[in-house]
Chains A and B, each alone.
Chain A
Amino acid sequence: MSPESLLQILVGGVAVGSIYALIAQGFYITHRTTLTLNFGQGDFLMLGAFLGLTLVKAGVPILFTALIVVAVLAALGVLLERVAIRPVGHLTLSWVLTTMGFGVIIQNVATAFWGKSSQSFPSLVGGKVVDVIRVAGVGIVVEELFIIIASILIMGGYLFLLNRTLTGKALAAVAFSRDTAALLGVDVRRMAILVYAIAAILAAVSGILVGPITSLHPFMGVKFAIKGFAAGIMGGFMSPVGIWVGGILLGIIELFSNLISSQFGDLYPFLIIILVLIFRPSGLFRDPTSR
């Protein structure tokens, strides 16, 4: 295999991995604060993509589309927190099932509106089906580039939020000890709503970015949720950098596994994750502030 081809695969891995990182980043913010996450995050992403698709095809300019989709999904995220998270608490793993159930409902709403088959999503820039940029003999689709950049920006945003802003400190405080944070005047309930809104917004943005380069259909969410979850687990849910690295790693492992053995290619990522967890039960990256 020529070095050029290897580089192409590497870049492809980073691109796919960035999608996983985006999903994992959606998990991160809610898990950090409430020790729960939205297992239907993939379905939120799917909904964001479909909504974006409908608006774009109706002629709404891309910027307005993004704003509308973000707003709708943020509202949905708040609803999710109210209906699927708050009543069940974080002690048992009930929220895994409630958020999944919510996701299933979203899937069915989507099939009711858009049917069950795959849809086409036009490129975000220009009219071509696939908009490719060539650098050093390696082709990269424009949306892939956007996604990579977006995931890095979000990681940076998290680092800034958590380390530099008061809200970020409040979020970390709630994660550390709910009751203490409440006693110190942090509105714990509002924090929970906030993080679920943020996660939903991330899903919206991811959906619009991912739509053009993936097979878009109402049941695509589960696959992304599992991969994003695996990425977060591998990197460790404790650090924004870890989450991002976990995603990129997973994408690269996935593509290179397919290169080595296209028949069992999807086996290796799972085996590797199991191995990682055996040696590092809380993921590759530890919490920088942990005891």
Chain B
Amino acid sequence: MSPLRPLVWIAVVVVLYVLPSALPTQYFTLLLQTAAYDTIVVVGLNLLVGFSGQISLGHAGFFAIGAYTTSLLTTSYGLSLWLTLPAAGAFAGAAGFLLALPAIRTKGLYLAMITVGFGFVVEILAQRWVDLTGGTMGIYAIPQPFGPVGYFYLVAGVAVALQLAMNHLTGSLWGKTLLALKGSEEAAQSVGIRVVRWKVVAFGVSAVYAGIGGAFFGHQNGYINSDSFTFGASLYYLVALVIGGVGSNYGPVVGTVFLAFITHFSAGLYEQRFFLLGGFLLFTLVFLPDGIVGTLEKWLKRRRETRLAPPEVEVDLARVLAAPANGHEGALLETAELTKHYAGVTAVERVALTIEPGTIHALIGPNGAGKTTFINLITGRIPADRGRVFYRGRHLDGLATPDRARLGIARTFQNLQLFPDLTVLENVLVGFHRHGEATLLEYALGLPRARRETARHTGQALALLSFLGISELAGLRATELAYGHQKLCELARALAVKPDIILLDEPVAGANRTEVDRIVQILGRLRAAGITILLVEHNMDFVMRISDRVSVLNFGEKIAEGTPEEVRANPQVIEAYLGHWGAADARR
């Protein structure tokens, strides 16, 4: 952590302390208070949109819940602010969880609609449930503590604290995990991340923030009514976030302050105000898609060197990979009658496969033979129509992908599913997911266990990257790498799972001779370390060199199995490959 950083925060605190005196009228103090609690809401929204890749067009609903919770608890029950503020956050968070649980299966526009619906439901209830909320006549005599300036200090103080917590969260492995699942849900699941849970938690946390912001709104003017919780309010937060910069830590505060500034400046121009707003929005989205802060960040980062010096690490692979407890006798992975049909196409037909521990088992076949589908069936990405997958003797029916990964089944992807927002190192770090124990709170507060874990995994990640020969690329964005290196990065990530078996989908596709040799070496060493490998490949030379056993699929059916030599000479196999390698091989 840069030594300057605490100084900067001290400066921020000083500035906040001085601001009300620099802008002495009550009007400006009011604006400052509003900017402070609006910032809290938008910081939470940023987590949801920028880091977990979801959307909310109804965040005013959580804001409302927070506002009403604190207003009702203080006016009807006389509870103290110090109790009701956290209560407001808690209620809003609970609402967020409740909404997210069923909603999480929907995506994109459909999720947007659910949030819109939620926002309207809250607004309507606030307006009509007059006995509870006072409707449009509202709730009066809400306590306004500490006077205007004092209240600003309170809100600003909480805002700063919540911003710090969010910084910790997003900068930590926890935040990287969110970005990972935003980038590729599939890949995230493949390293054991229970995506649904994470999305729900992100939703809940962002709702908590909104609720706290709403609570501060409740006590600001001593009065609230249902007119403040409209669809327009939800849009306002989104606009502030976008203008500030989605996914950047300080985007929310910059966007909020900017909008507040425009609102103040244009108050006299009541004819053209919304014109201005719409114009700004359009301009920002088209020319500054990363927002003010995002664009600044990009511009500054371009000048920075991001290569890390590779540490001198001893590559004790066996230790890093924690040799799997191979106390199990018999096949490690077995499938029986595994079948998958699509409309009009049989992808996999009653395939029975047995993979012995500590071996490299290849699955080959012409294009469209069903090989990738087969892998997807094993990892649980798609459900089988018939048949089962057995792992260590137990069937995997009903087990979701992340849970299968947590049992020790890792994979790579044919079409590369790296996490685009993360560096190479971070990609691998996320791979260690199932070995992490620190909780959300520990990451938010930067507690020791979280930091130790991150440090330990970082060391191990660098070791893995070293082993694969790409450790000097650790600091680069994963998407900036050459194709071959990207494949190695994905392999490192899969290895981070410390799997018993790793499923490689075309590991040498598009690789040149040198790279193929390298992979052969690597796979050999992995096997020596006790890891079982199932690989799908087209490169026959490679397959023959490295495999212990080969199975052949054609039109979804297994047509041959045996040692590489046996399979190569099998007439059925040659026929299946007619026009590919078979004829050429037979001529050798």
Contacts and interface: CB of A to CB of B under 8 A. Distances in A.
B125 interface: yes
A108 B274 contact: yes
A226 interface: yes
A62 to B, nearest CB: 32
A277 B289 contact: no
Interface in A58-116: 83-84, 87-88, 92-94, 96-98, 100-105, 107-108, 111-112
B238 A97 contact: yes
Contacts of A92: 246
B282 interface: yes
B104 to A, nearest CB: 9
Given A84-B286, A278-B103, A267 B121 contact: yes
Interface string B146-164: 0000000000000000000
Interface in B216-272: 231, 235, 238-239, 242, 246, 271-272
Contact of A93 (B112, B116, B282): B112
Given A97-B239, A97-B285, A108 B272 contact: yes
A48 interface: no
Nearest to B57: A96
Nearest to B105: A281
Contacts of A102: 278, 282
A8 interface: no
Interface in B263-317: 271-272, 274-275, 277-279, 281-282, 285-286, 289
A270 B342 CA distance: 35
B413 interface: no
Contact of A96 (B107, B112, B278, B282): B112
B237 to A, nearest CB: 12
B287 to A, nearest CB: 8
A282 interface: yes
A97 B242 contact: yes
B139 interface: no
Given A267-B121, A274-B118, A93 B102 contact: no
Given A101-B278, A104-B281, A281-B105, A273 B117 contact: yes
B542 interface: no
Contacts, number: 115
A204 B204 CA distance: 42
B55 interface: yes
Given A101-B282, A105-B278, A291-B343, A270 B110 contact: no
A107 B274 contact: yes
B108 interface: yes
B231 A222 contact: yes
Contacts of A263: 128
Contact of A108 (B121, B231, B275, B286): B275
A233 B109 CA distance: 8
B183 to A, nearest CB: 11
A273 B113 contact: yes
A285 interface: no
Q: Which residue, of B57, B112, B117, B118, has the highest number of chain A Cβ atoms within 10 A? A: B117
Contact of A100 (B109, B281, B286): B281
Interface in A27-52: 31, 37
Nearest to B99: A274
Given A94-B242, A277-B103, A281-B106, A101 B112 contact: no
B124 interface: yes
A98 B285 contact: yes
Q: Which residue, of B55, B231, B239, B278, has the highest number of chain A Cβ atoms within 10 A? A: B278
B281 A230 contact: no
Interface in B96-140: 102-103, 105-110, 112-114, 116-118, 120-121, 124-125, 128
21 contacts: A31-B109, A88-B285, A94-B242, A97-B239, A97-B285, A98-B281, A98-B285, A100-B278, A101-B285, A102-B278, A108-B272, A108-B278, A112-B271, A230-B117, A233-B109, A267-B124, A267-B128, A270-B117, A274-B102, A274-B103, A291-B343
Interface of A: 31, 37, 83-84, 87-88, 92-94, 96-98, 100-105, 107-108, 111-112, 222, 226, 229-230, 233, 237, 263-264, 266-267, 270-271, 273-274, 277-278, 281-283, 291
